[in-house]
Amino acid sequence: MSKTALVVGASGIVGSATAALLTDRNWTVHGLARRPTKQTGVQPVVADLQDPKGTADALSGIRADAVFLTTWLRQDSEADNIRVNSAMVRNLLDGLPQAAAPRHVALVTGLKHYLGPFEAYGRGTLPQTPFREQQARLDVENFYYAQEDELFAAAARDGFTWSVHRPHTVIGKAVGNAMNMGTTLAVYATLCRETGRPFTFPGSAAQWSGLTDMTDAGQLARHLLWAAETDAAHNNAFNVVNGDVFRWQWMWGRIAEWFGLEAVPFDGIVRPLEQQMADDAGAWRLIAQREGLVEPDLGRLASPWHTDADLGRPIEVVTDMSKSRRLGFTGYQPTDDAFFALFGQLRADSLIP
């Protein structure tokens, strides 16, 4: 018998990958978004999670066996992030119709659980790496903690099982996404190739030479489904990354090679993409017009601020996945292959030349 899923944030990087996997596994999939995009096999649900009544009305006919919460809204301060994003989780869980059978709710957060919010990103006293799930919360306000607390309270009230998933930077396709390193680097590399600018690493010495890892959206989707279907994984928080580690001094060369560029050796100077790409909107529009690309608006493809936050960290960031491995999750995805698959998809979809 087909199971029913509700994917919240179905138009985003993680949500779209999760919806695609579930439809491939013969689930009935409802995809909730403020502005749904057309997705094969996904039944769109239009709702704004900031509106409690509108959310409840939109969900009134959906009896989901599993709910995958993959969205958030960035605000100007962490206090506002907490207020808005905790309310979104609360409104969703309050608005779900009573389940006819046991239900599982999965929440996607991330490594800011260990690194702190953007206002204090990678600063102060941080846990040792590799990050492990049993490490205590930081003594700082963090909207991920507020989201978790809403999830835990609703689970205790309504009796559903839950899982929390903490990916590192996610590689995947989405247009208009606020945190999108893969597409940002693809656009940056394209601009460098087209304008003759050097392909210069924008980040810190620690990121250039230290070990790191990332999370492919497909790997995360498989992890979400695994946790929903595995009793031993219920009521647990998990890190989820690809399974390999790398140094950016190696990966930068791999990306450069894919785009036919020469990687410029890092000279120790941080050159943020937000500065490098500040005046590139016009150049991108001209490239898009010449090449017949479907998205001429640079701001809907690239999110330099987020890529700068990740690549500018002053510390090495690696993630332990032993907890998932011990419980039976064996998924693995080489990160360079994840980048290359994304770049190929962006080119096939006429988003880059």
Residues involved in catalysis: 112, 144
Which is nearest to 310 in space by CA: 193, 184, 200, 169?
A: 169
141 Cβ contact partners less than 8 Å away, ≥ 6 residues apart = 78, 79, 82, 117
Task: Identify whether the C-beta of residue 88 lies closer than 8 Å to the C-beta of residue 117.
Answer: no
- Please report where in the chains the tokens 């999670």 appear, as a residue: 49
Residue 258 is which amino acid? Answer: W
Structural tokens at position 215:
């999370």
Which is nearest to 29 in space by CA: 43, 16, 17, 40?
A: 43
- What are the two backbone dihedrals, phi and then psi, of residue 4, each rounded to the nearest 5 degrees? -115, 135
Query: What is the Cα 179 distance to its own chain's centre?
Result: 7
Which is nearest to 119 in space by CA: 137, 94, 142, 136?
A: 142
Q: Which residues pair with 7 in a beta bridge?
A: 31, 68
Measured CA to CA, the distance from residue 142 to residue 79 in angstroms comes to 8
Measured CA to CA, the distance from residue 208 to residue 351 in angstroms comes to 28
- Please report where in the chains the tokens 């309504």 appear, as a residue: 158
**Which stretches does DSSP call E strand in 87-182?**
104-108, 161-167, 170-171
